[in-house]
Amino acid sequence: MTHETPQRPAPATRESGRLVVLVSGTGSNLAALLAAHDDPAYGARVVAVIADRGNIRALDIAREAGIPTAVVSVKDFDDRAAWDAAVAETVAVFSPDLIVLAGFMKLFGATFLGRFGGRIVNTHPALLPSFPGAHGVRDALAYGVKVTGCTVMVVDEGIDTGPILAQATVAIEPDDDEATLHERIKAVEQPLLVEWVGRIARGGLRVEGRHAIVGRA
């Protein structure tokens, strides 16, 4: 496990919700959150970025923004349960109000969900419950649907099965391939994720059965 604390850490203000963002890839959703979080009216601030692998663009984006980072790799642990517990410990160091999975490509186990369940938000590049899993864009194209999109959801123990917060649609063009379609999905996914993370930070989140409700009761 590696930690980096930059010279100019970005502490949450007393009023802003503390976001810990987990990443595995290019970090475009992270970049969108970072573009929003300096505005005090947004109500949330990224206080740490944690990855399951090193050498990814998302970590560079975090470092460039002066955000503390950590890498917790599965390969450094005896088994997935030990990794799960280590990620939970690392996230807990930053006392998050909300955990955002922004292109994080691992499933959590009982330890992590037991500690943070109900305050983990994920984004998926398809209209759930269609095309869950690691290849939502490819699977939608292969199936031949004409409309796909993205889903922002609360994480539960399943694979992309948690209560849905918001969805946005994207039309599939005849000449789309996985890369072109994913780029257009990301263009709607980023503002949707930013909007709903902010809404939760400002208004709170509760889950009733299949329904994720944002706003104080």
In the complex with ligand GRF, the residue whose CB is nearer, 119 or 186, is 186
CA 57 to chain centroid: 15
In the complex with ligand GRF, the residue whose CB is nearer, 56 or 201, is 56
Q: C-beta of 32: minimal distance to ligand GRF in Å?
A: 8
Q: C-beta of 15: minimal distance to ligand GRF in Å?
A: 26
Task: Report the relative pairing of strands 2-4 and 69-71 from DSSP bridges.
Answer: antiparallel
The β-bridge partners of 212 are 207
Binding site members: 27-29, 80, 122
Q: C-beta of 80: minimal distance to ligand GRF in Å?
A: 19
In the complex with ligand GRF, the residue whose CB is nearer, 170 or 200, is 170
Task: Report the relative pairing of strands 69-71 and 44-51 from DSSP bridges.
Answer: parallel
Catalytic, out of 124, 135, 182, 211: 124
- Determine if residue 205 is left, alpha or beta; phi over 0 gives left, psi from -120 to 50 gives alpha, anything else beta: beta
Task: Report the relative pairing of strands 98-101 and 17-23 from DSSP bridges.
Answer: parallel
Active site residue 3: no
Alpha carbons 186 and 102: distance in angstroms, whole number: 11
Q: C-beta of 122: minimal distance to ligand GRF in Å?
A: 8
Question: For every residue of 37-74, which 3-state class applies, written as one string?
Answer: CCCHHHCEEEEEEEECCCCCHHHHHHHHCCCCEEECCH
Alpha carbons 102 and 24: distance in angstroms, whole number: 8
Q: Which residue is nearest to ligand GRF (CB)?
A: 103
In the complex with ligand GRF, the residue whose CB is nearer, 89 or 178, is 178
Structural contact between residues 67 and 59, judged by C-beta atoms closer than 8 angstroms: no
- Which spans of this chain sit near ligand GRF (rule: CB under 6 A)? 25-30, 58, 102-103, 123-125, 186, 189
Alpha carbons 155 and 123: distance in angstroms, whole number: 9
Q: Give catalytic residue positions.
A: 124
